[in-house]
Amino acid sequence: MAGKVLSLLPPSLLAAVGLVGLLLLCVPTRDVRELPALKYGIVLDAGSSHTSMFIYKWPADKENDTGIVGQHSSCDVRGGGISSYADNPSRAGQSLVECLDQALQAVPKERHVGTPLYLGATAGMRLLNLTSPEASANVLAAVTQTLTQYPFDFRGAHILSGQDEGVFGWVTANYLLENFIKYGWVGRWFRPRKGTLGAMDLGGASTQITFETASPAEDPASEVQLRLYGQHYRVYTHSFLCYGRDQVLRRLLAGALQTHGFHPCWPRGYSNQVLLGDVYESPCTAAQRPQAFNSSTRVSLSGTSDPALCRSLIMGLFNFSSCRFSRCSFNGIFQPPVAGNFIGFSAFFYTMDFLRTVMGLPVATLQQLEAAVATVCNQTWSELQARAPGERARLPDYCAGAMFVQQLLSRGYGFHERAFGGVTFQKKAGDTAVGWALGYMLNLTNLIPAEPPALRKGTDLGAWLVLVLLFAAMLLAALVLLLRRARSAKPSSAI
Ligand SMILES: *[C@@H]1O[C@H](CO)[C@@H](O)[C@H](O)[C@H]1NC(C)=O
Ligand SMILES: *[C@@H]1O[C@H](CO)[C@@H](O)[C@H](O)[C@H]1NC(C)=O
Ligand SMILES: *[C@@H]1O[C@H](CO)[C@@H](O)[C@H](O)[C@H]1NC(C)=O
Ligand SMILES: *[C@@H]1O[C@H](CO)[C@@H](O)[C@H](O)[C@H]1NC(C)=O
Ligand SMILES: *[C@@H]1O[C@H](CO)[C@@H](O)[C@H](O)[C@H]1NC(C)=O
Ligand SMILES: *[C@@H]1O[C@H](CO)[C@@H](O)[C@H](O)[C@H]1NC(C)=O
């Protein structure tokens, strides 16, 4: 008996080796290979309310592959956005030091010199540049002063246009999800059939919508043509300045002061002292600014938890009355019908996540979203606090934020129920944050070639085939041996 078991050992081993070999060959090589030399890149995302630093990394020998660049680490700069230091620019530079020191640790020392470092500022600085070009130049000079003191390869601090912000967010999302091009396990590049994903970004001071469209844009300002990996893309994009979350809240405050004297979107039982300077100093509230006001005056404002009034206050942010194109989203801005699937990130994600996980409300359909918003906006302050004990600081504004997102998507952009089914809300793809920062770096470092990558693995293909055949032969031989043993064993066991 022991002999029989022993005699089965060699073919079993052979089969095991063959099987393991085949399995190993099927695992994508990028996962099992020893890590090659890594390259790094750093982007400071200088938003209106805060700055984030992202450190990206990628294997040096594959820098033209899609989906290869990922997030190494990130750091949230303490304090406000760089535009909030307009009165004291040197502090804008100083605010970045803690994160930059962290980058010195995160990137290996021998890589410091070759690591590109970018600072991109968005709508907060666009607004500052509108009100005071000099102040915005001073802030950029101050952060440049700080950034050049580090050993990294600093490549400039710039204000992105709204169009760039939208397109780079779209590039990031589709790059991370490998929608441009994919490396198949048989060693070939192919273009995925699923098409690209539209991108929706909601920041503090602006919001962007970007998606691939088949028809030429009626307004050339909203169209961007891209060539990525040999493929041509016609992309619609628009950035709405003053439609970011913080500016919307500010505009609602101005509206509430002007027309109601109370805040219909704030919960009943909540009240706050509003500093008029805070409300009216932004260019976004210029139209509602009274002729004369004392900017250090505080006005007390109370919430009334009134979903219907809150909705009409928010609808006042959208102007549907004129459109000189065949169709518009709002404010006379051209927009083709939304097409394909979308990803909503940044504050779109945080808002939906609050409704879903904190409030426990379903938001899979527009109808559910509308009901969820009505529920949140109908909560009293104590009910809301009981539901979300850890969220105190932003809690009174979730109704307004959620109502705005719902109105923007359904009325503003024109998502109907079916199109809304194709929208996912997420902040990350894998371990990498979705936002404009990665797309910005990919573009500035030329990590996305205009032409498709050569079939580099073509030479590997022969060796790969030989190995597959070898392991398959081993497996086959083992099976034949086992079968023979089994046959020769049968008569004896029958006795
Ligand atoms: C990436 O592409 C650029 C331009 O197409 C080329 O010069 C570079 O050598 C490529 N890098 C790698 C690692 O293939
Ligand atoms: C500020 O705005 C002006 C006018 O749009 C533009 O020419 C300038 O480049 C902007 N400044 C920066 C630093 O981007
Ligand atoms: C503005 O308000 C502050 C505090 O309420 C007061 O001290 C100041 O005199 C006022 N300024 C003007 C111009 O009324
Ligand atoms: C909407 O836009 C049109 C055209 O720009 C303007 O005439 C009208 O006053 C705006 N309506 C509101 C309510 O702002
Ligand atoms: C709001 O809540 C009250 C109870 O607090 C309830 O009677 C009312 O029906 C709710 N309204 C909506 C629109 O949900
Ligand atoms: C990316 O960079 C290239 C230059 O390398 C430029 O022509 C192109 O317009 C950029 N793409 C975007 C979306 O800005």
Query: Which of these ranges, 2-6, 21-25, 254-258, 339-343, has the smallest mean pLDDT?
Result: 2-6
Q: How many angstroms separate the CA atoms of 275 and 296, rounded?
A: 6
Q: Which ligand 5 atom minimizes the distance to the CA of 305?
A: 1
- What tens digit of pLDDT does each residue of 279-307 get? 999 999 999 999 999 999 999 999 999 99
Report the DSSP pairing between strands 153-159 and 116-121: parallel
Q: What structural domains and CATH numbers belong to the chain?
A: 38-160 (3.30.420.40), 245-429 (3.30.420.150)
- Which pLDDT belongs to residue 35? 54
Are 217 and 336 a contacting pair, CB within 8 Å? yes
Whether 138 contacts 88, CB under 8 Å: no
**Closest-approaching ligand to the CA atom of 328:** 4
The answer to whether 134 and 151 have CB atoms below 8 angstroms apart is no
Tens-place pLDDT, residues 225-262: 999 988 899 999 999 999 999 999 999 999 999 998 99
CA distance 293 to 17: 82
Rounded Cα distance between 445 and 356, Å, is: 38
Give, in order, the Cα–Cα distances in Å from 185 to each of 20, 25, 240, 460.
17, 9, 42, 12
Identify which has the larger pLDDT, 11 or 33: 11
Q: Which of 489, 435, 403 is nearest to 45 (CA)?
A: 435
pLDDT value for 30: 47
Question: By the 8 A CB rule, do 306 and 263 touch?
Answer: no
Cα diameter, the chain: 110
Q: Is the CB of 296 under 6 A from ligand 3?
A: yes
- The predicted pLDDT at position 187 comes to 59
Contact 210, 169 (CB under 8 A): yes
Residue that has been written with the tokens 């020392």 in this structure: 109
Contact assessment for residue 442 and residue 448, using Cβ atoms and an 8 Å cutoff: yes
How many whole angstroms separate alpha carbon 245 and alpha carbon 389? 22
Q: With cut-offs at 50, 70 and 90, classify the pLDDT of residue 470.
A: confident
| Structural contact between residues 141 and 202, judged by C-beta atoms closer than 8 angstroms | no
The answer to whether residue 165 is catalytic is yes
Q: Rounded distance, CA 280 to CA 166, Å?
A: 27
207 is in an annotated binding site: yes
At 21 the pLDDT is 62
**SS3 of residue 230 by DSSP:** coil
Q: How far is CA 191 from CA 9, 99, 241, 400, 438, in A?
A: 46, 38, 35, 41, 21
Nearest Cα residue to atom 2 of ligand 5: 378
Find, among 60, 55, 57, the residue nearest to 76 by Cα. Answer: 55
Residue 105 has pLDDT above 50, yes or no: yes
Q: What is the spatial distance between Cα 280 and Cα 216, in angstroms, rounded to a whole number?
A: 39
Ligand 2 centroid to Cα of residue 130, in Å, is: 8
How far apart, in whole angstroms, are the C-alpha atoms of residue 64 and residue 61?
9
- Exposed, middle or buried: residue 219 (CB in 10 Å: 0-12, 13-18, 19+)? middle
Ligand closest to CA 309: 5
Using a 6 Å cutoff on CB, does residue 322 contact ligand 4?
yes
Q: Is the CB of 138 under 6 A from ligand 2?
A: no
Distance in angstroms (rounded) separating the CA atoms of residues 436 and 243: 17
DSSP string over 58-120: EEGGGTTSTT--EEEEEEEPSSS-GGGGTT-HHHHHHHTHHHHHHHHHHS-GGGTTT-EEEEE
Q: What is the pLDDT of residue 458?
A: 42
* Distant-in-sequence, close-in-space partners of 337: CB < 8 Å, separation ≥ 6: 327, 414
3-state secondary structure of 134: helix
Find the 156 Cα to ligand 2 centroid distance in Å.
15
Angle formed by the axes of helices 123-131 and 162-176, to 10°?
170
